Structure 1
């Protein structure tokens, strides 16, 4: 028995010693890791990053509609995944990452989509000189810049506005462009864009030697460089949000990136969502001098997304659940817009596993009426929105009476005065709605965040017959109805009749 006890004691002692050694090695390596950590900033390119304090990046959320974004060359052109997901299958290593690992110099590459005819470009050890970008400062209060022209806010890049370091380069006297016109035409074609700022940014990049590549300020974590055009319009801003989200996923960023706006626009209400979706936000001109990025990603223009291109070309895709597509992949179906909508809801702290049944507790239905209001949108705006429904107030008042008199189930009509609501409040109203109704207008773009089984009813003036919201509903798999007007006047009785049919289909 004593011999057994002695053996047991030796085993316990050995386990204790092993545990102590393991703990020592863990904390020792942890300390070393924080002093000199390695971040994988690109496939096969681990960048040595000196310690500059704790990571400030937000983690990616766990969302039910997420599907892997693995980069393969097997994505068929014109498929739904090519339009909405990772169709960026053609890559060009301008400055190869492997050589950069060996020499400690810069790397740069672009991923091209045959379907969207645009590229996501990324690079490591990239220097930006705001002094060589001609544009207004950006980020000002709207009331301080009334009357400022759009041209003042859009960037113009001098050669050397961006720099990369290449091994073996000599003095600055022999300046060399990173890419030529042939590369720009192949990977960053102008297309139908009047001013292709991403193309002009890449055109401005020059290659310098090690002695000329100097940085006093470093941004250590992955950063998206974005230029916005119609930055105060919700539809166009959603295309920018989506492009930024896709760029982050395609480049395999481990956390949500930081943002730098390479434009001179003033503040808008929409920045609330930019800040919620991503890790931080700065304007390029707000840096005190040249700044270097360990990993910069150039996000395509919103005009180059499927959300915008679908207005002029046929994108034959239907929304489906990620679960169904995981079980049975289908090139004609997508869950990417649902994934993106869940990303927005999660960014504001709302639950993303809620379904239609959660919104109808005790037979209670929310019907959200998205209103159009006068408000000052940007420095060139007069504060008046163009009416799409001439008797909007009459329709709302009639719906309010209908809701209060509704006997079959309890109906709550929500007055969607979005211009006077925070972005978080707007998203909450969208996710809580069983039915979303409104005249054609940018505010309806919020349906990208609608939950499954939400029904959309759009009232369309004959003067604004565009498919924006029918397409978003289709690509999300939402039930969609339209009332097409002869002019801009809607008969309240017709609206109520259509709404009654929708409510009956919901079991009310």
Structure 2
């Protein structure tokens, strides 16, 4: 019995010691793992913070809206699409079909050339921007802080390597090698009549670098448009930039609206008093930033270089014949016609959609609320650092004409007419576009404000008052390309006879059944 108890005691003691050793080892191991886990976590925190900071600059991309006037864009990969060259589709951007592949590899670069517009939409992957190698003002400053600054300070001057492409580690990635040569530039990016072709200059300075040298402080994972603006404070020229950026997005088949980076040093621009044209850039695209606002190198997973606004049909049409008439997308879908286009209407709908305005609006023959007649006014404003705040007088008695129209409308015996005082200088961009959309008739002296007619509804009537010093076809062409009814009163000087304007409007109202 004693032997049995002694044996049992020894067994229990052995098990106790074994269990104690196991518990000791368990807690020792757990403590060590916990310590290593905390150490790893502490080591990862800076990386996580770095990733969070890097990603904080990126936002979800805005989807494309459904546009009633939208027609499918030609697949740029289809080489047979060159049949549209010199057609209206070609003039309005659906003709960038000749693909020129420049670089393959980890990074890539190619251009889509348009025979019609004689320009290219170029794009690349794993493209690095080095802001320190771009000489220009920072951009985005308040206008009052940079008054008197010269334009040369705001337009970019690129050093070699201002932009670089990852060429991998093959034989093609020679240190300092430029991406393209002079022959390529002359063939696919001709300067034409543009004195300072910044897109051509940018591409001429792109270098191919080895993959091991391709380090980035910040990444843009989503497609990004690189845009250089010239006459950025003028609505007409800004709309050509918007249109070029929109076309570039469609040509390259972007599934969503891209980011925009301004490769220029222009200040925060005011199109009119208290109204920013940047408001529309931000509405049209997913985000907007300035190249010089980055603190280090910036890399783009997919960068698209938008052609200059000077190379759109809206600008080229001022010096060469763009023989195109506006038509509905439905009509062109059923009966394609190389002499007709719906692209300007599509773009106008894009602007309206960007501001959340209805796309199914239309002008009925006799609206219950009455016809809106919008009189677009011109006012003094500071537009850019070199502007003196005075607009050119294109209708010297504008106030008299407006007051005469106001009196006539109040005594009109036909249907109800609402005369809208288009003081765009005191309206947000959304309010301006809404006023254009709601107008049955738009009246105004020749001036950039009339460019808003790109957003007008199909049955809108345009009446332009043109002084002898400004007989330019800008708005007659846009009206034609949209299929709008257009009338003009050509003045001997800058003074308009109110009675003549009233008679012209009276005839227009009768044609509207009023």
CA contact (8 A) 1:126 1:292 kept: yes
Residue 120 of structure 1: SS of its match in structure 2? strand
Cα distance in 1 between the residues matched to 2:366 and 2:140:
41
How much does 1:74 deviate? Answer: 3.7
* Secondary structure of residue in 2 paired with 1:378: coil
Deviations along 1:285-313, one digit per CA (max 9) or x if unpaired, are 01111000000000000000000000000
Q: 2:45 maps to what in 1? A: none
Rounded to whole Å, the distance in 2 between the matches of 1:173 and 1:256 is 35
CA distance in 2, matches of 1:336, 1:392: 33
Partner deviation per Cα, 1:460-503 (whole Å, 9 max, x = no partner): 00110000000000000000000011111100000000000000
**Are the counterparts in 2 of residues 363 and 409 from structure 1 also a CA contact under 8 Å?**
no
Q: Distance in 2 between matches of 1:475 and 1:112?
A: 23
C-alpha displacement of 1:174: 3.4
Which region of structure 1 is more displaced relative to structure 2, 173-182 or 455-464? 173-182
* 1:57-206 map, 5 Å: 57-71=61-75, 72=78, 73-96=81-104, 100=105, 105-169=106-170, 174-206=175-207
Q: Give the greater-gyration-radius structure (CA).
A: 2
Q: Does 1:483 align with 2:470?
A: no
Aligned to 1:504: 510
Q: Pick from 333, 336, 352: which aligns with 1:329?
A: 336
CA distance in structure 1 between the partners assigned to 2:422 and 2:369 by the alignment: 21
Cα 1:147–1:272 change in 2 (3 A) is same
Alignment of 1:295 with 2:302, yes or no, is yes
1: distance between equivalents of 2:225 and 2:172? 30
**Unpaired runs of at least 5, structure 2:** 1-53, 270-275
Residues 174, 210 of structure 2: 8 Å contact kept? no
Corresponding residue for 2:370?
Answer: 364
1:387 equivalent among 385, 388, 393: 393
Report if the CA contact (8 A) 2:82-2:98 is conserved: no
Q: Distance in 1 between matches of 2:296 and 2:249?
A: 26
Aligned partner of 2:478 in structure 1 is: 472
Aligned residue runs from structure 1 range 456-471, under 5 A: 456-471=462-477
Deviations 1:106-165 (A, max 9, x none): 010000011101000001100000000000000001001000000000000000000011
Determine if contact 1:263/1:284 at 8 Å carries over to the other structure: yes
Query: For residues 79 and 171 of structure 1, what CA distance do their matches in structure 2 show?
Result: 39
Residues 171 and 338 (structure 1), Cα distance of their counterparts in 2 relative to 1, 3 Å cut: closer
The reply on whether 1:306 has 2:313 as its aligned counterpart is yes
TM-score by length of 1: 0.87
Give the alignment's Cα RMSD to 1 decimal.
Answer: 1.5
2:258 paired with 1:252: no
8 Å CA contact 1:75, 1:82 repeated in 2: no
CA contact (8 A) 1:218 1:293 kept: yes
